[in-house]
Amino acid sequence: MTLREQNVSQLTSTTFDALVIGGGINGAASAAALAGKGAKVALIDRGDFAGSTSMHSSNLVWGGIKYMESNDFGLVRKLCKSRNHLIKSYPSTVQEIRFLTTITRGFRHSPRYLWAGTWLYWLMGNGFTKRPRLLSPKNIKQEESIINVGDSVGGFEYSDAYLHDNDARFVFNFIRHALDYGATAANYVESLGAVRQDGVWVTRARDTTDGSTFEIRAKVLINAAGPWVDQHNTLTGEQTSHQHLYSKGIHLIVPQLTASQRVLAFFADDGRLFFVIPMGNRTCIGTTDTHMEHPDAVVTDEDIRFVLDNINARLTLEKPLTPADIISTRCGVRPLAVEADQGSDRDFFQMSRKHVVDTNRETAHISIFGGKLTDCVNVGNEIADALSDLGVTLPKADFHWYGEPAESVKQAFLAQARQMKLDALTPETSSEVLSTRLWRRYANKAFAMLEQIAADPRQAELLIEGTEYIRVELEHARDHEMITELEDFLRRRAKISLVVHHEQLRQSEGLKEACRVLFGDDAQARLDHYFKKTSDTAPQPALQADA
C-alpha cells in the first residue's frame, strides 16, 4: 500500500481536530503548524499539492516594495520581517538576491525619489539585507550589458530574496513536515461540501483517482482552497466578511538571458514592476496583471505578446525573443482579499497580497483569504491561534514547527557526504555539487539517500537528460512524496517541465526509465496520459532546447 493509499484509508478512521481543505501554501503551512503543535489534523486537495497558485509564483520571497507607493507601510514592514525570518529559517532554500531596477525618462517618480524609497524599505526590514545602491545609466550598462539604457535616467539596486529551487517544492516540504508530525494528508481527494452535525463538520469527499466517496469528520473546518475559497464556502453555506477578487499573472520561461544571479526589474508599459528572474540555466520573465472574473486562467496570445514586447523593449538582445523561444509558461491567479461589501471596481495595481483569517466562532469554520508565500509562517501561527480560540487544545503550543534542521545536523550530513566522497559522483552537467543539492531539497531525509548511494553508487546516476535529478531522488519521490500523476513529479516535486522543453521530454529515454521507477508496470500508461494532457498547452519547440 502506498503512502497516499494509507492516508486516504485513515481519513475515515477518526474525528479530527481540524480538516484543512486545500494543499497550497496556506493549507500546507496551516497543517504543519497545527500538527506540530499537537492537533489531530487532516488535509485534502482535489488535485496535487501546490497544484494551482502556489506553483505559478515568481519564486520571489519579497517584502512587497511596490506596496509602499500605496502607503501600505504596515504590510510592507510585516512582509519584510517575514522575508528575513524565512531567510534565517531556510538558509539553504530562501536566499538573498539583488534587484537591479532601471527607470526610464518620464517615469512618474525620479530615480533619487525611488532610491530614497529603497532606503526606507531597507530600514523597514531592519537593515537585514545588503544596502541599496544608486546607479547611473552607465553603471547599469557596465553591470548588465543586455539592459537597454537608451531611454534610461538611471536606477537603483536593492535586496529581497528568492527560492533557490521551486515554489511547489517549498510548499510540499510543509506537507512533509505535517506528515512527520502525525497529520493525515492526501492529494486527489475532493471536498464535495460539508455540513455541521452535532458539533462536528462532516465533509463528503471523493477520491478522484477511483471515484469512491466517503465522509471525513472534524471539529473545525479550515477552508484554505486558495482562489476557490468562495466556491467552497458556497458549498458549506458559510457567510464571510471577506471575499476574493482575481488577478491573472503569467511568466514565460526562456533560455538564459544573463548569467548574473540577480533579478532585473523594470516598470512595464502598464506601470507595474516587471521582472527578469534567474532560474538556473533558464530565465523567467513576467508578469501580467489581468482582472479575472473567475479563478480559472490560461495563457493567451495577448499575454505572451505583452511579456515579449516589454522584455524586448527593455533589453538589447542579439535577436528579439519570439514565441519560439518559450520553453514553458506559468499561469495562475492571485486571490486578492477584499471586504465582502466591496465591489470588483478596484485598482488592481494598488491591491496588496495581504491575507485575512476569517473565523466563524458559531460554526467553528475558518476561511483563509489572500496571502502569499512570504507570509506563510504567519498564516500557520494565526491558524493555530484561531484553533485555540475555538476551544481546541494544542498540547505542544510552543513547538517550533518550521525551518531547516539545526546547523549541527547539516554539518553531520555534510561530514558523512565528504567521508563517502559523494560530490565526486556529481554529474558533469550539474550546476552544484550533490551534497548541497540533496540537503537543500530533502534536509534530514537525505541521510537515507547517502546510505543508498553508499550501498549502490548507481543511485547517483542522472536519469533524465538535461535535469539534475538522480535515481535515488526518484525512488524517494515514489515512496515518500505521493506521486500520483507524472506531472506531480515533473512540475511540482521537481521543476523539470519548467526548464526542459515539452518535445525534449517526449523524446527522452531517461524519462521513460524515471517512469518505470515511479510507476512500475503502470509507467507507459502514466507517460501517455501526461503527454495527452499537456500536448495542447505546450509551447512550440524553443530555439535552444538543452537544459
Contacts for 319-325: CB closer than 8 Å, 24+ residues apart: 321/254, 323/539, 323/540, 324/540, 324/541, 324/542, 324/543, 325/254, 325/255, 325/542, 325/543, 325/544
* Helix 407-419, helix 434-442: angle, nearest 10: 140
Per-position b or e across 120-134, b if 16+ CB within 10 A of its CB: ebbebbeebbeebeb
Secondary element (H or E) of residue 494: none
Q: What is the CA radius of gyration of the chain?
A: 23
- Identify residue 116 by its one-letter amino acid code: A
For residue 151, the tally of other CB atoms under 10 A from its CB is 14
Distance CA 468, CA 462 (A): 7
Distance CA 84, CA 129 (A): 8
What is the pLDDT, as a whole number, of residue 350? 55
Distance CA 93, CA 97 (A): 12
Q: Which residues on neighbouring strands pair with residue 11, listed in sequence order? A: none
What is the pLDDT, as a whole number, of residue 542? 44
What is the pLDDT, as a whole number, of residue 110? 81
Which of left, alpha, beta for 442 (phi over 0: left; psi -120 to 50: alpha)? alpha
What is the pLDDT, as a whole number, of residue 280? 86
Number of H helices and E strands in the chain, helices first, is 18, 18
Chain centre distance of CA 315: 27
Contact 20, 379 (CB under 8 A): no
What is the pLDDT, as a whole number, of residue 349? 52
Strand ranges (DSSP E) for 164-212?
Answer: 184-187, 189-197, 200-207
pLDDT along the chain (547 residues), means of 10: 96 97 98 98 98 93 87 92 97 96 87 89 96 95 95 94 94 97 98 96 98 98 97 95 93 95 89 88 91 92 95 95 96 91 56 86 97 94 98 97 97 98 92 95 97 96 90 97 97 95 93 96 96 75 39
Closest Cα to residue 377, out of 395, 340, 402?
Answer: 402
What is the pLDDT, as a whole number, of residue 431? 86
What is the pLDDT, as a whole number, of residue 187? 98
Closest Cα to residue 199, out of 336, 17, 466?
Answer: 17
* 405 DSSP 8-state letter: P
Lookup result for grid cell 539583488: 98
3-state SS string for 112-159:
HHHHHHHHHHHHHCCCCCCCCEEECHHHHHHHCCCECCCCEEEEEEEE
What is the pLDDT, as a whole number, of residue 66? 85
All three cell numbers of 405: 534542521
